[in-house]
Amino acid sequence: MQCERCKNNVATVHLTEIVKSQKTEKHLCEQCAKEEGYTIKTHVSLQDLLTAFISAHDDAEEMAGVKCPDCGMTYVDFRSEGRLGCPNDYEVFREALDPLLEKIHGKVEHSGKLPSRAGESQRKQRDLMALRRQLRDAVDKEDYEAAARLRDEIKTMENIDGSA
């Protein structure tokens, strides 16, 4: 979006003013905003925030040699770019991503609603994935009773679906 005042620079300052239920918006570049008397305190991009957050949770030493076999991205690449290269990276970098995602979102699993157009098979697949994750966690914690129960539940769901 171009600056409304000079029409040359990219608008980076977006102002909204509401007076007596009348809304007006201004989109200005930093220079024009300063000339109009608006104080620009700081400009921090989401990329900068993510990079700072990742740096604060420095796992670089233990993850330095980890590389995704699908896209070739290394953990160091992720740290510098702030983005993953492919869906497989969530598994490859899970050890470092889980604590990061938990701090940002409060948990590491998406628990929102599925789109209304999603079919029953997608719901069952999501439930199966959650059960498999719980099974993996139970085995990691050496809670074999819970693991056996989860294993049986997964087998039952797979037999009902006819999927493996």
Please report the pLDDT score of residue 144 as a whole number.
Answer: 93
pLDDT in tens, 64-115: 778 888 888 888 888 777 788 888 888 888 888 777 777 777 776 766 666 6
Please report the pLDDT score of residue 161 as a whole number.
Answer: 58
Q: How many CA atoms lie within 13 A of 51 on its CB side?
A: 9
pTM of the predicted protein model: 0.36
Residue ranges of domains in the chain: 1-43, 46-105, 120-161
Mean pLDDT of 12-35: 86
At position 135, the amino acid (one-letter code) is L
Sign of the CA dihedral with 65 first, then 68, 72, and 74 last: negative
Place of tokens 């620009």: 40
Please report the pLDDT score of residue 164 as a whole number.
Answer: 45
